[in-house]
Amino acid sequence: MALLRREELSVAELQEILDMGQSRISSHLALLRQGSLVTDRRQGKKTFYSLSPKLSPGNLELVHSSCRAIESLPEIKSDEQNLERILERRQRFAAEYFNTLAGRLGKNYFPGRSWEAFGHFLLKITPRIKIADLGAGEGLISQLLAPRAEHVYCIDQSQRMVEVGAELAKKNGLSNLEYKLGNIENVPLPNRSVDVALLSQALHHARHPQAAVNEAYRILKPEGQIIVLDLKEHDFEKARELYADLWLGFPENTLYTFLREAGFQNIEVSIVSREKQEPFFQTVLAAGIKTGA
């Protein structure tokens, strides 16, 4: 009990600390669990034991008093030293494992590390701002942003996309998610009305991409931000037929020029994704700030 009130431990760890047989320890733990003094937690093939969090204040004080009464015994001091050794080994094992991964975390498979998971994780920190998702389609990104944002406008020129998106917003109870029929080159929003303008894989569908970026600038408040996610220039001609693309992506310099010509400052453009299968699409992220009044 003196050990378990300090740390959750497995039977194997208790064996090593106490230098006792597995059956004897298991028998004692069974009695303690039957008396509701300890609780167990199963993880894979291991079972971990700890002091029960449901002990009444009186029983908890009795446990602490009993442990204090014997804390000066040589056996207890020996157990505590062995416990420290076990805990140090746990920490050392974790440190050594991650030391071997240094420099490889983004290159190899690790359970639970996916861009989808990271995306959901980061979307949870969306501030209370107004967002315009230009060329939103059904508004997948907006559906994820809306629970945290103040208001999200989804603009798309497809009547059916707007209808489907609006139905999804209603179904998910997102009253602050508003769908509007409109063209990204003539956005149906007032000047200086939003904090962030998104163009996610939408710019290559615009007849005049510069006009779309100019519209994003118009609707942004001062210090508002544009974020463009699009394909880097490629030669996969079938994209025109398969995806109704008007542009086969854009060079990084062209995206930079679009933002600069619109009036954005602090512009950043970088490749954020490279597909490993043909036609080896690359994704470019461009961002800028609308400074001044």
Residue ranges per structural domain of the chain:
9-101, 115-289
Q: What is the pLDDT of residue 286?
A: 97
| Residue 286 near residue 253, CB atoms below 8 Å | no
Q: What is the pLDDT of residue 62?
A: 93
Summarize pLDDT for 62-81 with one digit per residue, the tens: 999 999 999 899 999 999 99
pLDDT band at 82 (very low <50, low <70, confident <90, very high): very high
Q: What is the pLDDT of residue 292?
A: 74
Share of the chain above pLDDT 70, in %: 94
| Residue 137 near residue 143, CB atoms below 8 Å | no
pLDDT band at 61 (very low <50, low <70, confident <90, very high): very high
Q: What is the pLDDT of residue 124?
A: 80
115-289 CATH? 3.40.50.150
pLDDT higher than threshold 80 for residue 1: yes
* Mean pLDDT calculated for residue range 89-114: 68
Joined tokens for residue 212: 């779309």
Q: What is the pLDDT of residue 92?
A: 84
9-101 CATH? 1.10.10
Q: What sign has the CA pseudo-torsion 239, 240, 245, 248?
A: positive
Joined tokens for residue 270: 């970088």
Interatomic CA distance for residues 114 and 185, integer angstroms:
34
Q: Rg of the Cα trace of the chain?
A: 30
Interatomic CA distance for residues 192 and 132, integer angstroms:
11
pLDDT band at 119 (very low <50, low <70, confident <90, very high): confident
* Mean pLDDT calculated for residue range 22-40: 92
pLDDT band at 93 (very low <50, low <70, confident <90, very high): confident
